[in-house]
Structure 1
């Protein structure tokens, strides 16, 4: 028997940014790109106006329940709820932040209740959301709080056609990173990665490459001892659990094409070590996936791009990839694979 996941909930993101127009294009290209049914929480007028900036005639189908989205999807973009604001692309305002927070909150609630197969989050402007009650550093932490989990249990993975990477430390000053790298952190995040790639990506024994912190992975202690004292012992402990973990690898060589064939995901020590290669290789198709949650969550790996919003310049590739990936992960969970 084929198990079909519930439709995906898409949060609008900041309505003054590029997310609404990219969501509209994703719906317009739904068949070409093989997208699972999805609906958007709020913002019908914003979505319609955003679509017009790209020359898309976007029919909106108001729905009162997520269960209506699948049957409505071929007729138009299903939109749940009447919450909206005045379209004003490129000029973020409090009204838009209130809509963005409502959309994110409701989409998350629907995923947690099982009425949505997962949530795809549009990019937000954190400074604007903070003015209307958003207290978390970002959407990943918001999702962790909503799921009742500590922030460190929500692991950010960047995924594209060429590469998957996970930053061990995320939005931290570079000077603070060495002290934050611990055996416990490496081991906990690696276990979450292994479990999530098996459950959501169909990789029962994922190959995880761990980078070093220092140039040349420390070169036997000549350029730093973190590899010897922290990273290598963590890898040994994980290998003892029969996880396929290798390293520490010199980060300057790990992402060459012939090396990428040898692993499924790279666990990197800090933000730029993980994000520079993925954005170099897969900028227009990069997806931010949150691992370790009881729900599926993806997001395009880019920001609000207020400077080009409403000008028809933004690529929809990452939004389409985020919706496609969420649909695939949700289908695997629904099937219990």
Structure 2
């Protein structure tokens, strides 16, 4: 397995400053906390209908919220304070479990949109979409169950020495079996499904008669939404999984690994966490479904300063939405 010498060679790769990590994780925590809490308030209190897509979005907001709540421990550590090893491990477990939960939920949202548009009259599709709560439950069970072995392996295998919080080599994640599962079930299959669903959605919209009438369907806006969602997915999650594959080839000779690999791995993990702040913007506030299902007036009245001129503001918002 790995000895103390190779582990030491890895942990000696320390950067001069942790300012970038502290800054990025702090921004992700603050922005992600605000946006995802706001989204949950909207979904639970001000949503007019509980559609199947809304079920996935609610679970996505919850997964992203849990993810960002694990970030303060990383911020505290990168500020130079000591953090107990088991707390680091639990924080890492929460982050990874909810990161893959977000990936699978984003895939379900994309597939649900595609099925709803491409097969609107299929009774089998309608019955399948009604199982959204069960699908979400399965995703939670899968991500938590798949992440637990990594934590348990650290606790039971004495040959793996972990003494560098958030900086140690991800031994379990780059093992062949775990890596294959991660790249196929955790990232590869969701990526393929998202790509096919996006292409199917764009094709169905382009061929529909409603798309020929800009007043009914803004096809350009839908294309932009689909491409933005795919771009965010790739930018946030592709670098992390590429780095895992690269680390896999160094798993038996860590002493020869360049320190730049460590820095790239850490930065790729930051990009993956950044998705928690982009999900609300890309999937909630820029989609027609979200705006149609949200009681805008109720949300607007949540802000005290707007109560004084609600009538004028309502007229202004109506003009902007036409």
Structure with higher strand content: 1
Max Rg structure:
2
- Normalising by structure 1, we get a TM-score of 0.28
Structure with higher helix content: 2
- Normalising by structure 2, we get a TM-score of 0.29
